[in-house]
Structure formats: C-alpha cells, structure tokens
Amino acid sequence: MLKLKERLRSRTMPLLYRISPIMQTRYLCKQKLGRNIDLNSPVLFQDKLHWLKLFDYANNDLVIKCADKYRVREYLQECGMEHMLNELYQVLTSPKQIDLDKLPEKFVIKTNFSYGDATLCTDKNDIDIKLIKKKYNRLLRKRFGYGSCEPHYLKIPPNIIIEKYLEDDGNNRLNDYKLFCFNGVPEFILVVYERTDVSHKIQCYDCSWEKLHYRKSADTSFHINRPESLDEMIKAATILSKPFPFVRIDFYDIAGRAVFGEMTFTPSSCLCKDYTLESEMVLGNMLVIPDTTSLNSVTV
C-alpha cells in the first residue's frame, strides 16, 4: 500500500506542478504543515521562503548556480574561498563512468542537484558497485524538484560528483554546522550530530554559541562544544550570503579547519514541522523579502 501511494505521488506531483506551482505549494503546506500558507503578505519564516522559491529562485541564476553542489565551487573561488572546498575526485554525467580503480579507499558519491542521496563508502572493496550505479541511474532520470515544488533544482544540469570522505580523528560521522543567514548576516546555527543512516539529533545556537530554542526536537539538556573553526565559518558565511535574502550555508570542522558543505535556499523543502510558532515569527521578522503588494490582486 505504501509503495502504491509513493507511485501515485510521484506521478501526481509533477502534474500538479505543471498545472500550478502555487497550487502545489498550497497543497504541500496543508498536507505537511497542517495549515494554509500566506503568499500575499507572508509573515512566517517558511511562508516567506515559499514566496521566494516561487517568485524569485526559479529564475535567479545565482541561486541556481549556488544550489548546484558542483557549480557552487566556482562561486566560492570567485569569493576567494577555494581553500574551504572539499577535495573533488570526479564529476560524471553517467554512473557508467564511475571507475573504482581511480578512486581511493574512502569517498562520497552524491548528485549535484538534490539532497539526501549521498553514498558513503568507507571501503571500496566492500561495496556493490552495480547497485550503486543502478541507484544513480535512477536518480539522474528523475527530475528532482517537481515533487517538492522547488523550481530552482529543475534548472540544474544533472551530474554525479565524487568527493573526499571527511572524518574526524575518531573515524566518526562529523557534526554538520548549518548557518542560517538572513540578508547577509548569519543569525543562528543548526547543529546536526550523532547522525546515522536512519536518524540524527539537532541543537540550535546563536553566533555567540548560546543555546536557542527554535526547534521542538532539540535536546535542550545536551550541549555541543563550540567548534574551533566557528569564527572562520561565520566570516565565510557572511561573505557568501551577501547577495541573498536568505541562505543556509553548511560547514564541517576538520581538525579546527572549516570545510564547506553546501548552500541551501529551501531547507527541508520549506515544510519543516519542527519549528515552534514563536521561532517561525522570529525568523520571519529577520527575513526581508521584496514588496509583495503587487501580488495582492492575484489569486494565489
């Protein structure tokens, strides 16, 4: 039954997108968030993000470039931050081009146009390369962005990228430090830790490393040590986020050095149920978007 629902969704969502991305956005918000979205005069954080994705991101060349996990490397080079990039092994247009003989023992495979599809390889002699190629062949055929109504992803030329496997001295999964930047200012940091293939934990801090209560699932009794490279992350995020009303910029701390992860303009497809209403209001006040009064006469 679940697979049948997934197949129906995979067919109906692209159709609904083609009929009306606005209608699809309204449907997704009602289904995922349990509420109606305000696109005429948005106030809440995620309502404003939906406005941006519909009326800005779809035709914003710089957003499209920076959402591309491969082409964003060019943007960092332009900003003088090439030293923060992870080592890139291969950029491919087909999984048939994956050549294990040319790769080190450990590496990460992912697409450049979506999220949640990374394959972490810790021993290339212990992987099913046929299964991996089948997975990425399927992902490259799928038009990512239709189902979640994220039009900027549809403008990204699809590639497979293979990068260095990042790890700390204890050979553990690294913490993700996700800096939420508003109008060129990093305002808070979402830390993802104890990540496994099926779960993770989160914590929120401000840039002075004081705990914030923006997310319902955060364990407020648990404290994460301030990363050594936090100042470097904040400085880089300030420069990289300058052209955008909002962007989330991800980093890792590797032996006290900040390593860039990605730039995301629609976190959780703007459908995260974990924000408190208060935090949606606070973050919404931080996010300044263009005047929306011209839309008030349009049925959205």
pLDDT tens digits for range 237-295: 999 999 999 999 999 999 999 999 999 999 999 999 999 999 999 999 999 998 764 44
Give mean pLDDT, residues 21-40: 95
Contact 224, 136 (CB under 8 A): no
Task: Give the model's pLDDT for residue 294.
Answer: 47
Task: Give the model's pLDDT for residue 12.
Answer: 79
* Closest to 17 measured CA to CA, from 158, 153, 157: 153
Give mean pLDDT, residues 165-177: 80
- Is the pLDDT score of 83 beyond 60? yes
Task: Give the model's pLDDT for residue 121.
Answer: 95
Contact 54, 21 (CB under 8 A): yes
264 sits in which H/E element: strand 257-264
* Closest to 114 measured CA to CA, from 162, 170, 67: 67
Cα dihedral 175, 272, 70, 98 sign: positive
Task: Give the model's pLDDT for residue 171.
Answer: 52
| pLDDT, the chain, mean | 91
Confidence of residue 2 (pLDDT cuts 50, 70, 90): very low
pLDDT tens digits for range 100-111: 999 999 999 999
- Is the pLDDT score of 91 beyond 50? yes
Give mean pLDDT, residues 108-126: 94
Give mean pLDDT, residues 58-85: 97
Give me the domains of the chain, ranges plus CATH numbers.
Answer: 1-37 (no CATH), 39-86+169-290 (3.30.470), 87-165 (no CATH)
User: How much of the chain exceeds pLDDT 70, in percent?
Assistant: 92
Q: How far is CA 92 from CA 107, 158, 163, 263, in A?
A: 15, 9, 12, 21
Confidence of residue 28 (pLDDT cuts 50, 70, 90): very high
Phi, psi of 115 (to 5 degrees): -145, 160
pLDDT tens digits for range 190-220: 999 988 777 889 999 999 999 999 999 998 8
* Closest to 120 measured CA to CA, from 132, 112, 130: 132
Task: Give the model's pLDDT for residue 219.
Answer: 85
- What is the DSSP annotation of 69-88? TTTHHHHHHHTT-GGGSPPE
Confidence of residue 299 (pLDDT cuts 50, 70, 90): very low
- What is the DSSP annotation of 3-35? HHHHHHHHHHHHHHHHH-HHHHHHHHHHHHTSS
Mapping DSSP to helix (H, G, I), strand (E, B) and coil, where does residue 190 land? Answer: strand
Based on DSSP, count helices (H) and strands (E) in the chain, helices before strands. 8, 10
